[in-house]
Chains A and B, each alone.
Chain A
Amino acid sequence: MRLGEPARMQAAINITPLVDVVLVLLIIFMVMAPQMRKGPDVNLPNTTKPNSQGDERGRILVSIDEAGGLWINDQPVAAEHFDETLRAAVGAETNPKIVIRGDAKLNFREVREVMVAIEQTGFRGVGLIAKRAGAEGK
């Protein structure tokens, strides 16, 4: 810079801190995303072409973990209280969708018993959640 000459104005906004913050947020969300799911960690069965079951929100999640324990949304439920807890979870919803997240190690009896329990509270259709082979996710 020579004397007498004004310093050049820098017209561009410095976006480097913005980029830093956004990248950090991105990494946080990428890491946290699998843990934001409701319910226990379930090792979902692998299949080749599962259909979309839509968004987790607005669904009632019934999870069956590896040991056969039942969960409704993110609460563990004893088998004898399953019916009333499920009714409470449905609440006033007019057209609830129930999905079952069953562990791959279960045998079919445990899943069938849960389906029968769901049927007894008045629902006929459920979604059986799987994951696409090779995809990540819990």
Chain B
Amino acid sequence: MQFNNNDSGSSLQSEINITPLVDVVLVLLIIFMVVVPLLMEGYDVDIPRASADTSTPVAESQLILSIGSAACPIFTPPAGEGIPKNCQVTLADQKIPVAELPARVAAILGGRPAEQRALFLAVDDRLNYEAVLRIIDLAKSGVEDLKIEFVAAN
């Protein structure tokens, strides 16, 4: 028996095979270079047309969600996730706790064809921006393809 492994044909390979590691790292590098820094997420919204005349009557089918600062006093970024419990919003002239919003929006708009699913938002100016986005997020979780449009708050 030969103890000198260096001379035998089937010598043990003591080095780790790092070729797969290199492959994976290269792919990771490419992903980080190309994709990560530039992706954004958010919400598509429509802006009220300030120049249009406001005398046109509001269509019956328009679903208006009002967020007032009296019923929903959030003036600083809400901590954690979700909306504080003390927030109430007005959906189609009915005052509801904000937690019920997804179900209500789904009940009203769920039966309509996708292109008619629009929610008109009247938001008080003093509210915190993050809170407004979270309420939009909540409303959008009720139905798919919900269009959001801002209207002037009363």
Question: A residues within 8 A CB of B41?
Answer: 50-53, 129-132
Question: B residues within 8 A CB of A81?
Answer: none
A2 to B36, alpha carbons, bound, how many Å? Answer: 55
Question: B residues within 8 A CB of A36?
Answer: 37-38
Question: B residues within 8 A CB of A52?
Answer: 39-41
A116 to B26, alpha carbons, bound, how many Å? Answer: 46
- Secondary structure at chain A's binding surface: helix, strand, loop or mixed? mixed
- Least distance between B21 CB and chain A CB atoms (Å): 7
> Which chain B residues in 35-72 approach chain A with CB under 8 Å?
36-51
Given the interface contacts A33-B37, A120-B50, does A128 sit within 8 Å of B42 by beta carbon?
Answer: yes
Interface residues of A (CB under 8 A from B): 15-16, 18-19, 22-23, 25-26, 29-30, 33-34, 36-37, 45-57, 59, 99, 102-112, 115-116, 118-120, 123-133
A sample of 26 cross-chain residue pairs with beta-carbon separation below 8 angstroms, ordered by A number, consists of A15-B22, A16-B18, A19-B18, A37-B37, A45-B134, A48-B141, A51-B42, A51-B43, A52-B41, A54-B40, A55-B40, A56-B37, A56-B38, A56-B39, A99-B40, A104-B130, A106-B129, A107-B128, A115-B48, A124-B47, A125-B44, A126-B45, A128-B136, A129-B40, A129-B41, A130-B43
